[in-house]
Amino acid sequence: MPSDRVSRLLRLINLLQTRTGWDAKSLAAELGISTRTLFRDLNTLEQSGIPCRSKDGGDYKIQQGFFLPPIALSASEVLGMMQLTRFIGNHRERPFHAHALSAIYKLITTVPEPLRATCGQMLANISIEPDPKLDTDDESRYFTQLQQAVDMGRACAVTYAAVNGEGQSTFEIEPYLLHHANRAWYVLGKTDLHNDVRMLKLVRVKELALLKRPFHRPSTYKISDKLGKAWRLLPEGKTYKIELAFTPKVATNVSEVRWHESQTHETRKDGSCVMRFEVDGLHEIAWWVCGYADQVEVIKPKRLREIVSKMHRDAAGQYGE
């Protein structure tokens, strides 16, 4: 969300709080925008959970007592929250993001106008590239139901699409917890189809029904009980000690990121670096290694060298001579 729009939305909220009797024409004139832009901004506030219309459909206003009383926030805290509106505003369809956006607006509007305006000007000099987002809102469709099922200890009937897009299966799941990773939400639980704890991606859930059947969730169950030392989400049941050598061209870039909890690295005199991991499974990390193409070499284990080598040969084969 651009910084000028963030500042404008906050000013709109302030106008609606401090004075009643605003109609669309007078609001647009006060803000120096068209009525079309005003309606878009009002809709954004409504989607964020901030009621802007009177019950009788007349003038625009915010109900008295809707916002919090003044809170002593520093300039850095206000600026930080304004930055968050950019992230969340670009992903409003994600679970809880609209509620979070509403909460941030409530907090920022308690800040005195001079400080708020100054932070808005500072924000104009900060650029933020939003993370890639899903092209569908399917993820949010069943999130609340699954959260209720987890909290209540109730099983669910699920229709789930295969990862390759070929067919669907219907089964029951006892949901243990919800987990966010790799820009997506997952539900983790025991299914009667597999008789095992599985991780389902919410965007692949096609139908969901909360059942009356209760279940007992292990009280100490954690996400690490399922993922263990997996590179990301897919443990394979065997742990490997991995050693990778990166060229000087990418060594600094790679070593600056914490890719895995087991990660260690050693920088060589020529600027290259050796990174070491202890990972459950090889195929997930193989895809990551291939992303660095000729700038990395697998030192060990031999099996990972073979997997990466085959993936490169297969990829090269697609381009012929």
> Domain-by-domain residue ranges, the chain?
3-123, 138-226, 239-317
Percent of the chain with pLDDT over 70: 72
**Token pair in block for residue 96:** 């809880």
Asked whether the predicted pLDDT for residue 45 surpasses 60, the reply is yes
Where does the pLDDT of residue 133 fall: very low under 50, low under 70, confident under 90, or very high at 90 and above? Answer: low
Where does the pLDDT of residue 213 fall: very low under 50, low under 70, confident under 90, or very high at 90 and above? Answer: very high
Please tell me the predicted confidence (pLDDT) of residue 263.
96
Where does the pLDDT of residue 286 fall: very low under 50, low under 70, confident under 90, or very high at 90 and above? Answer: very high
Q: Which residue has the higher pLDDT, 244 or 74?
A: 244
**Token pair in block for residue 225:** 């009980």
Q: What average pLDDT does range 283-303 have in this prediction? A: 96
Please tell me the predicted confidence (pLDDT) of residue 101.
64
Contact (CB, 8 A) for 246 and 292: yes
Which CATH number does the domain 3-123 belong to among 1.10.10, 1.10.155, 1.20.58, 2.40.160? 1.10.10
Exposed, middle or buried: residue 299 (CB in 10 Å: 0-12, 13-18, 19+)? middle
Fold of 239-317: Alpha-Beta Plaits (3.30.70)
Asked whether the predicted pLDDT for residue 90 surpasses 70, the reply is no
Q: Is residue 51 helix, strand or coil? A: coil
CATH number for the region 138-226 comes to: 2.30.30.520
The CA distances from residue 45 to 81, 140, 191, in Å, are: 16, 19, 40
Contact (CB, 8 A) for 101 and 48: yes
Give 46-82 pLDDT, tens digit per residue. Answer: 776 777 775 555 678 776 666 555 556 666 776 676 6
